[in-house]
Every structure is written in structure tokens, then in C-alpha cells.
Structure 1
Amino acid sequence: MNVRDGNLALAARASKVMAGGHLSPSRKLGASIAFTRASGCYLFDADGNRYTDFHCGFGANVLGHCHPAIAARVHAVSHDIDLIGAGITQLEVETCEVIARNIPCAELVSLCSSGSEATFHALRIARAFTGRKKVIKFQGGYHGWHDAVAMNVQSESGAIGRYDPLCDGIMEETARHTIVLPYNDAGAVEAYLKANPGEVAAIIVEPIAHNIGSVIATDAFLSDLRTITREQEVVLIFDEVITGFRHALGGYQSICGVTPDLATFGKAAGSGYPIGIVAGRRDIMECVGRTGKGSVFMGGTFNGTPSSLAAVLATIEELSKQGTYERLSALGMHMRKGLDAIALRHGLEAQSAGFGSVWLLYFFSGAYSRYDDLLRNDDALDLAFRQKMIEHRLIGQPLPLKRLYLSLAHTPEVLDESLGVIDSILERLIARR
């Protein structure tokens, strides 16, 4: 087989045995690209092409691909222990101790294998603790694939304010217990809770709504949520599956100064190894791990898999090094300033967005604080821009509003080279309009 046929050949094989030809619709790139190797900030395909990676495994690879410290720790552990599934292991204890030391809300910790599992368990724990059924999420927030929250993410304008499921097969009876409210609107939350006392078990919120790019919760919104939930005895859950470990070791809660009752983590915690974390108040988390009335079953054969926990410990060690988050933020600022300069130079109605090492371009001007504001985005131009990025070997999600990532493996030189490509792409797209 000619090396230039490698991508097409693997795509053809995938179409015969993999549902949809991919492991998820969100992994489709709009072109037949099959990756065979990853290193640092680069990906390599079956045809020998090199790509600069701004996808970073949905943000999991905060250190860069195949980081030597992660590989070494996982390799060392693999000689000593593998999956046990009984009793406890030293790795489990050490990992939970480190997490509890770093995350403000983490009085007790439990482990699973993904972010979706973590949010699923957190909501179940909140329901068990309060004896209530309803939960509140916010328009634009994505909290996983399970029925209680798989709705109202990137909704069309006509679907805002009504039930908008992500896909077929969702149990509407479950979903109808979820109330969707506007982000950054504490008044709407307070009004609902006071009108429906004793019904809501939990509020789950992304402290930065990264699933629609980067809409940052105001300090007042998060502080008001904390006050309201305490008054109404509702469990406040921060979904830090994206923000956790990427923006700070203690999660965004350590930045904003608001401590939730429960928090969920994943992605960057394991540098590409599967991990989910639920952490929170002792009295709430004590529901987990016991039997009988008031208990919550949180099982999973691969919870606490040694390779994943080795990766978590090594990741935390690397992220704990002095200046790490300053470097990540500096890279993000470099990218966002470059994007704004390009937009200004071309007279383009666009603006950079992001926080820390997360970045993207919104194709509209003016302030934004909730999902409705993003309806001004020029989705057609956004999509065309992202598709052209992939054609020019800059990898990210080819969907409007989606965030892009940097890792510690990216350098200012890599970013400048990529910004040059982006400048050229936007110049051509504008000329065609």
C-alpha cells in the first residue's frame, strides 16, 4: 500500500466495523484522517503528515502527548500491579490523598473512569442526600451523556426555553426532572427555588462554560449560587471536568474562591488516561461506599485502575512545578492576542475568547455572558474557518463555538507559525465573501 493511501485505507476499514466509522460523532474531522502517532504538540497520520494539535484529546493532554514523566510512571507501575478489584491499593490511597490536599471542597474523594460517570454519580449522590428528584442545569452546559443532563447544549434559538435533547433514546421521564435556566442569571435560580421549595436536589454548573467556547461565570453569579443553595439546602455541584487541573490544581473553585458541595473532575487529571473524580463534603460523600438505607452504589470494575492512577500522580507532580500555570496562561494570552490582532487587521467582526490555556475565536462582536448572546455568532464562517484549519493541518473540533486547547508542549514559536496560517486562512475566507 502506498503511504499516501494510509488514511483512506484505515477509514474504509473503520466504516466496516465501527458504528458510524468513529467512536463518537464529535471525533469526526470532515476528512479521512487516521492518526498513528502523537508526540508533544504534534499528531502524525497514516500518510506521514504532521499536524499541530489544538484538540489535545478534548483537553486531556495538558502536558503534551506521550509526556515522558507520565510514560515512565505508568511503565513502572505496570511491573508491580495491575487491576485487582478487591480491597484497596496503595495507589488509590495516595491518589485520593493528593486530590484532597489540592481541591478545596474535597473532604472525601471517590474515583471512576470518565467525566460523564463522575457527573452521573454526583447527581445520584445529591438526590440520595436530599431525598429530592429535580436538578438544575444551565443552557449551554454539557455534563455528560446520561439522561438527566443530555439536553440544551448548543440549542437553536427556537429550542431555548424548552426541552432540547441531544439525541434519541433519552428517557424523557428522567430528563423532565431537569430544569434548564439561563447561565449567569442567579435571579432566575432564586425565583425557581422559592417557587418550588423542597423539590431541587442539586444545581450543576460549569464555572466556565467551556462547552460553548468560554463563557465565564461572574463572581457574583457563583457567589449568589452558593448563598441560594445554602439557604434552600440544595447541593451545589461544580462540573470541573474541563476546568479542573487545566486551569489550576485546585480547580476553578480555587481561583474564584467559591467552594461547592461537590465537584467532578476528569480529562486533564490523567494526561490522556481514563479518570473521573467526585470530591466533596464529608457528610454528603459518606453516602458512597456503604450499604443500606441512604447509601449510594458507585461501582465500576475499572475504578482506580493502576495505570490511570499512576498517570494522575505523575500529572499532579508535573503541574505542581513552579511556574507551570503561569506558562500555560502566557501561552493562552499569546494566542488570544494574536487572534485579536488578525481580526483587527482584516476588519473582521470577531473576538478571541478563552481562559488560561483555552482559546477560540467567536465570530461576533460585543459582550456576552450567556448562551443567548452566542446566537450572534456567524456559524457559517466559524465552521468554514475550522474546516480550513484542519485542511492546513491544525487540528481542532470542526464545530462552531467549540473550544481549542494548548498544552505545555506548545511553544510561542509553534503558536506564531499557526497564527500565520490562521491569518492566511481568514484572509482568503473574507476575500470570498
Structure 2
Amino acid sequence: MTSSSRNEAIAARAEKVIPGGHLSPNRKLGRPVVFTDASGPYLHDADGQRYSDYHCAFGANVLGHKHPAVVAAVKAVSDEIDLVGAGMLELEVEVAERLVAAIPCAEQVSFCSSGSEATYHALRLARAVTGGRHIVKFQGGYHGWHDYVAMNGQSSRQMLGSYDPMSDGMLYDAARYTKIVPYNDAGAVEAFIKQNPGDVAAVIIEPIAHNMGAVAAHLTFLQDLRRITREHGVVLIFDEVITGFRHALGGYQSLIDVTPDLATFGKAATSGYPIGIVAGRRDMMERLGRTGEGAVFMGGTFNGTPASMAAVKATLDELAKPGAYERLFELGDYLRTGIDAIIARRGIRAQAAGFGSVWLVYFFQGAFNEYRDLLDNDTELDMRFRRALIDERHVFQPAPLKRLYLSMSHRREIVDDTLDRIDTIMARLAAPAAA
């Protein structure tokens, strides 16, 4: 049997019963890999090979795989109660209290099962509150799979400024009320709102656009969005599904002193269990608790699942410990500094980017303030780099411009090993130019 025989055999079975052999095309790594064990910063496949994980389940595993505190909390609650779906649990109240105390915009919170669900509910709530139809999102941003926002992600240059759906089967009648504008351009937002007085429900934004790598919003831009939306009665929504709890216990909003009306969270809130959170102003959120006139329905059998609630509580406990975020930021800075030194030494036209524990390499040089700037990225080099590291048994998102992660379980010696491998790969990438 070859070293990859079990991986290949299981993948062949998957092809017969699962579309494409994966639960999402985004999970493909370019070759058959079937993971059987996860612990801390490592994964093992069906043939016993160990991988360093910089994918971290799209960023969800902020503490690392199978963190003992999370495992213990989930086991403890599972020994007491499972899914009920009626009445309430004290654990739901405890978690909600913790979140309200931590998140600046959160006067109340509600739970669902994913980030996509959270953004869907936040947008529905905004439309109900304002009576407006239009929403504003930014080119390159991703806010979930639903028809209101699943468009204009990594668009080609030719599709900028046009409706660019991410999927076949999307209903244009739902999408046509979504206006796409450039990131960091408050003037474009204000102009659209003024052109549609009283008919714009929400502006939704990632305060750091991690879905196009690590494009940060200028502070003045976010301050302008807050002013513009408040002046025109538009709901400002921060999509913190990635930034929330990964960069700060109160979300990115707690670092910049700009408070949205609503915010959505997910991923890192549980360090590995399904969760979606909508947080916001009481006068808006109370609509979710009503029936009858003015009510906004937000149901779901698995909303507030005990295992997920226990995982949130345990994750918040770990992240609240002194020095937790400092360690994540320090290690992220160390990795990016090391990558930039390699790039300079090897003469590659590239740059390390990121914030805190989120990182990637852009294969171009120069500023990046909006998606159009990223069109200079050398896609071929980007993909060669990512595939080479996957071949070195590093788990990456194998798509250009996609962000990568560190977790609390990563240590400097792991990062040093990765930097050595990156140096070797960058030397190979530079070789044709030097020839």
C-alpha cells in the first residue's frame, strides 16, 4: 500500500455519495486528504501523516483543536442536558450576559447556528426597523451564502461595478437591492444613500476585510460611516464573524471606539462548535422576541444548542485570561516579520499582511485599501506558494488572497519550522527570475 492509499480510498468513496467529494469546494486541498485526528495546532490524516494547521477551520479554532477547557465544558453539559428546543436554559442567559458585558454594541443578543444565518437575520431586522429595501456592501466582502449578499467577492477586473453572483441559482430580485461600493470609500456610500432617501436599510461591513486577506478599514472611514448612517436613519452592521473574539473579547469595535447598531459573530466564539450571534441595540433586538405586528422572526431548532453555549462560555473564559491576546498578536507579528525578511532576501515581489493572528502573503507590493488594489496580486505565484506548503503538510486555504490563521496552541518553534519551509519555497519561486 502506498503512503496515500487510505486517503485515496476514502476520497474515492466520498466521490460516489457526496457532491464533488467534499462538503464544500472550499474544503479541497488539491489532493485527497482525509483527516482523522486533531489536537492543538496539528492534524493527522488517514495515513498517519501530521500537518501543521494554519487553516484553523476557517478561523474558528482560535484556541486550537480540542482545547481541554472547551472539551470539558461540552462534556459536562452533555452529561446533564441535550437539545430541548422549548423553554430556556440558564446557560443561555449566562452566555448572553457575558456577551452583553463584552461587546460595545450589545444591549441584547440572539443565537443561531452560523455566521451566514447571523448576517441574514441582521439584514432582515434592519429592513424591518427602517422600512428600507436597499443594503450597501463592499466589493470583496463576504457576508454569507444568502442571495442578499453572495455577490462581488473575488471579482475579475471586468466584473467590477457589475452584479457578480457567487452562485448559479441566485434570485436577482433579491440581489438587485444590494449596492456594491469600494471599500474605504465613504463618499460612495453617502452618495447612494442620498440618491435613495428613506429606502436604504443597512450598510454591512467587515471592519477588517479578512475575506480579501487583510484590508483594514481606515478609522476615519468607519467614523464617517457611523456619522452618515446615523444622519440618514440607516442601520450600521459590523460583520465580525471573523474579527470577533479573534482580535479582542469585545470584537474589533472595542479596539476602535466605533459602535455599530448591530453586529454579527460566529467562528471563534466557540473555538470549534456551530454558532452564530446577532448583537445590538435593545430597541432593535427586541423585535426578535415579539410575535404579531412589528415582529421579526428568528427561529431555528439548533439555536442555543447546549454544547455550543458551553463552548462559548469556555472560550470566553480562556480568551479573558491575562496575556491571551498579547500572545496571539506577538506571534502574528513574529511570523509576518519573518516572512518579510525572507521576501527581501529572496527578492520576491510580495509582502506579508494581516492583523493579530490572521496572516497571509500578498504577491505584489504597494498599498492596499480596497479590492481593486488586490488585482495586482500574482495569482500564479500565490497558488504555487500555497500548494507547495500544502505539499509540506501545512493546511492552508488553497485559493489566492485567502487569509490564514494562528491559534493559541501555536508556539514559536512551530512558526520557526514554517518559516524555514517558506524560505525554501520562496527560493524556488525566485529561481526563474534569477535565471
Q: Deviations over 1:174-196 (max 9, x none)?
A: 00010000000001111111121
* Aligned counterpart, 2:214: 214
Task: Give the whole-Å Cα distance in 2 for the aligned partners of 1:31 and 1:289.
Answer: 47
Give the SS at the match of 1:164: coil
Q: Residues 102-128 of structure 1: CA distance to partner in whole angstroms, max 9, x if unpaired?
A: 000000100000000000000000001
For residue 225 of structure 1, what is the aligned residue in structure 2?
Answer: 225
Q: What secondary structure sits across from 1:287 in the alignment?
A: helix
Q: Which residue is equivalent to 1:95?
A: 95
Q: Give 1:23-102 correspondences, 5 Å limit.
A: 23-102=23-102
**SS at the partner of 2:72?**
helix
Q: Deviations over 1:137-160 (max 9, x none)?
A: 000000000000000000000001
Does the CA contact (< 8 Å) of 1:138 and 1:205 recur in 2? yes
Secondary structure of the residue aligned to 1:48 is: coil
Return the offset for 1:430. Answer: 1.9
Does residue 1:418 correspond to 2:418, yes or no? yes
1:343 corresponds in structure 2 to: 343
Query: How far is the alpha carbon of 1:5 from its aligned partner?
Result: 1.2
Alignment of 1:312-391 (within 5 A): 312-391=312-391
CA distance in 2, matches of 1:13, 1:36: 16
Contact in 1 for aligned 2:105/2:281 (Cα 8 Å): yes
Aligned position for 1:154 = 154
Identity of paired residues, percent? 65
SS, match of residue 250 in structure 1: coil
Separation in 2 of the partners of 1:249 and 1:17?
41
Partner-residue secondary structure (3-state), 2:288:
coil
Equivalent pair of 1:40/1:64 in contact (CA under 8 Å): yes
Q: Distance in 2 between matches of 1:196 and 1:397?
A: 39
**Which amino acid is the alignment partner of residue 362 of structure 1?**
Y
What amino acid sits opposite 1:278 in the alignment?
Answer: V
Q: CA separation of 1:190/1:4 partners in 2, compared to 1, >3 Å: closer, same or farther?
A: closer
Q: Distance in 2 between matches of 1:408 and 1:286?
A: 36
Relative to structure 1, the CA distance from residue 308 to residue 182 in structure 2 (aligned partners, 3 Å threshold; closer, same or farther) is same
Letter of the structure 1 residue corresponding to residue 310 of structure 2: A
For 1:191 and 1:176, locate their aligned partners in 2 and report how far apart those are by CA, in whole Å: 18
Q: CA deviation at 1:344?
A: 0.2
Q: What RMSD in Å do the two structures reach over aligned CA positions?
A: 0.8
Offset, 1:429: 2.0
Q: Which amino acid aligns with 2:175?
A: A
Aligned to 2:141: 141
Q: Deviations over 1:322-375 (max 9, x none)?
A: 000000000100110011001000111111100000000000011110000000
Residues 7-64 of structure 1 show CA distances to partners (whole Å, capped at 9, x for unaligned) of 0011011101111110001111111111000010001000110000000000000000
Alignment correspondent of 2:299: 299
d(CA) in 2 for partners of 1:161, 1:208: 21
Contact map agreement 1:362 1:377 (CA 8 A) in 2: yes
Runs (4+) of structure 1 moved beyond 6 Å?
A: none
Alignment of 1:97-176 (within 5 A): 97-176=97-176
Q: 2:280 & 2:401 partners in 1: Cα distance?
A: 31
Q: Following the alignment from structure 1 to structure 2, what is the Cα–Cα distance between the partners of residues 3 and 75?
A: 35
Report SS of the residue matched to 1:14.
Answer: helix
Match of 2:253 in 1: 253
| Contact 2:347 2:430 survives alignment (8 Å) | no
- Structure 1 residue aligned with 2:5: 5
- Using the alignment, how far apart are the partners of 2:294 and 2:169 within structure 1? 29
Q: Which whole-Å CA distance do the structure 2 matches of 1:33 and 1:118 have between them? A: 31
AA paired with 1:226? Answer: R
Equivalent residue number for residue 181 of structure 2: 181
Q: How does 1:261-280 map to 2 (within 5 A)?
A: 261-280=261-280
Deviation of 1:432 after TM superposition, in Å, equals: 3.7
Please list the CA deviations of residues 386-433 of structure 1 after superposition, one character each: whole Å capped at 9, or x if unmatched.
Answer: 011100111110100000000011011100100100110111122145
Rounded to whole Å, the distance in 2 between the matches of 1:367 and 1:294 is: 46
Letter in 1 for 2:229: T
Distance 1:200 1:51 in 2: 47
Q: Secondary structure at the match of 1:180?
A: strand
SS in 2 for 1:273: coil
- Indicate conservation of the 8 Å contact 2:139/2:182, yes or no: yes
User: Does the CA-based 8 Å contact 1:205-1:237 persist in structure 2?
Assistant: yes
Check whether the contact 1:107–1:279 (CA below 8 A) recurs between aligned residues. Answer: yes
Give TM-score scaled by structure 1 length.
0.99
* Corresponding residue SS for 1:204: strand
Deviation at 1:4, TM superposition (A): 4.1
Secondary structure at the aligned position of 2:375 is classed as helix
Q: Are the counterparts in 2 of residues 240 and 252 from structure 1 also a CA contact under 8 Å? A: yes
CA separation in 2, counterparts of 1:193 and 1:19? Answer: 42
Are the counterparts in 1 of residues 105 and 262 from structure 2 also a CA contact under 8 Å?
A: yes
CA distance in 1 between counterparts of 2:286 and 2:39 reads 41
Q: TM-score, normalised by structure 2?
A: 0.99
| Aligned AA (1:38) | A
3-state secondary structure, aligned to 1:279: strand
Deviations 1:239-264 (A, max 9, x none): 00000000001000001110000000
Kept in 1: contact 2:266–2:276 (CA 8 A): yes
Find the counterpart in structure 1 of residue 399 from structure 2: 399
* Contact 2:240 2:264 (8 Å CA) reproduced: yes
1:2 positional shift: 6.8
DSSP 3-state at the match of 2:321: coil
Aligned length: 433
Matched to 2:20, the amino acid is G
DSSP-derived class of the 1:201 partner: strand
Q: Give the unaligned 5+ runs of structure 2.
A: none
Does the C-alpha gap of structure 1 residues 3 and 393 become closer, same or farther in structure 2, counting only changes over 3 Å?
closer
Asked if 2 retains the 8 angstrom alpha-carbon contact of 1:3 and 1:46, the reply is no
